[in-house]
């Protein structure tokens, strides 16, 4: 966070308790959530997205293409989590909070800043049963992966083992997307094999 934002204190609230794996799967099933498995030795095994959250992420990435010089855009992922029997995290993303006001954005840089953090704080008040699960941002024309700056942002604001980072390239069809999470050794995954990229624009509801 930059100097101007130092006076902003995100309210401390007690985090909602995590769900059991069974509860989380039931919630995901009832909402007809879309599931994506995370490849590799990630601490997060699977992420479910409520259809409206999945659509909101797509819409937010899509609207960025209306700008002549397509800027990076981003936002926050809210929902609930559980731990599976083998100790890995399962996430259900229920809401996407678009960062409509950011400190800086360009074709290859996004700084969320204090206004975005305040919007996040309001959203956490609005959805008290949910917690921050991670963040989303776009890489217009430079493929989905994690840069060194992305890593620094992640370590600064998303410290929990279950926090994920989604990156989408909206300039490529069909919105190739990766979901990055911590590995077992605590390092952050920074890329996926090309063939594992999620086609965000085409993914169907799984049962
Ligand atoms: Zn990035």
Q: 78 by DSSP, 3-state: which?
A: strand
Domains and CATH numbers, the chain: 19-199 (3.40.140.10)
Distance 30 CA to ligand 1 centre (A): 33
- The answer to whether the CB of 72 falls within 8 A of the CB of 107 is yes
Q: How far is the CA of 156 from the centre of ligand 1 (A)?
A: 14
CB atoms under 10 Å from CB of 37, counted, come to 13
Do residues 150 and 137 touch, judged by C-beta distance below 8 A?
A: yes
Looking up tokens 């952050």, which residue turns up? Answer: 188
Q: In this structure, are strands 44-49 and 89-98 parallel, antiparallel, or unpaired?
A: parallel
Residue 110 Cα to ligand 1 middle (Å): 7
Alpha carbon distance 115, 95 (integer Å): 18
Q: Tell me the mean pLDDT in the region 95-118.
A: 90
Contact 67, 132 (CB under 8 A): no
* Confidence check: pLDDT of 4 > 80: no
What is the pLDDT confidence band of residue 109, given thresholds at 50, 70 and 90?
A: confident
- Tell whether pTM > 0.85: yes
CA-to-CA distance for 99 and 66, rounded, in angstroms? Answer: 17
Per-chain mean pLDDT for the chain: 90
State the pLDDT at residue 195: 94
- Cα-to-centroid distance, 119 and ligand 1 (Å): 20
What's the gap in Å between 61 CA and the centre of ligand 1? 13
- The C-alpha torsion from 83 through 95 and 78 to 119, rounded to 10°, is 180
pLDDT, tens digit, 9 for 90 and up, residues 59-88: 999 999 998 889 999 999 999 999 998 899
For residue 143, the tally of other CB atoms under 10 A from its CB is 15
Ligand 1 centroid–CA 9 distance in Å is 25
The residue whose two tokens read 């996407």 is 96
- Nearest-CA neighbor of 73 among 59, 89, 60? 60
Note whether 178 and 192 are within 8 A (CB): yes
Cα 164 to ligand 1 centroid, rounded to whole Å: 13
Q: What is the pLDDT of residue 203?
A: 67
């Amino acid at each position: 966070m930059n100097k101007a934002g130092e006076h902003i204190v995100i309210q401390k609230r007690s985090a909602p308790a995590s769900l059991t794996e069974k509860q989380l799967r039931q919630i995901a099933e009832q909402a007809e959530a879309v599931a994506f498995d995370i490849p590799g030795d990630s601490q997060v095994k699977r992420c479910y997205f409520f259809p409206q959250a999945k659509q909101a992420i797509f819409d937010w990435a899509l609207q960025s293409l209306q700008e002549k010089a397509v800027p990076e855009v981003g936002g926050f992922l809210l929902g609930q989590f559980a731990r599976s029997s083998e100790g890995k995290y399962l996430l259900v993303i229920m809401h996407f909070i678009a960062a409509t006001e950011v400190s800086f954005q360009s074709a290859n840089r996004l700084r969320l800043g204090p206004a975005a953090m305040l919007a996040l704080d309001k959203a956490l008040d609005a959805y008290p049963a949910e917690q921050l699960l991670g963040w989303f941002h776009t890489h217009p024309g430079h493929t989905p992966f994690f840069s060194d700056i992305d890593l620094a942002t992640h370590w600064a604001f998303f410290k929990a083992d279950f926090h994920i980072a989604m990156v989408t390239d909206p300039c490529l069809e069909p919105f190739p997307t990766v979901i990055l999470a911590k590995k077992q050794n605590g390092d952050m995954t920074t890329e996926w094999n090309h063939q594992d990229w999620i086609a965000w624009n085409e993914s169907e509801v799984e049962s």
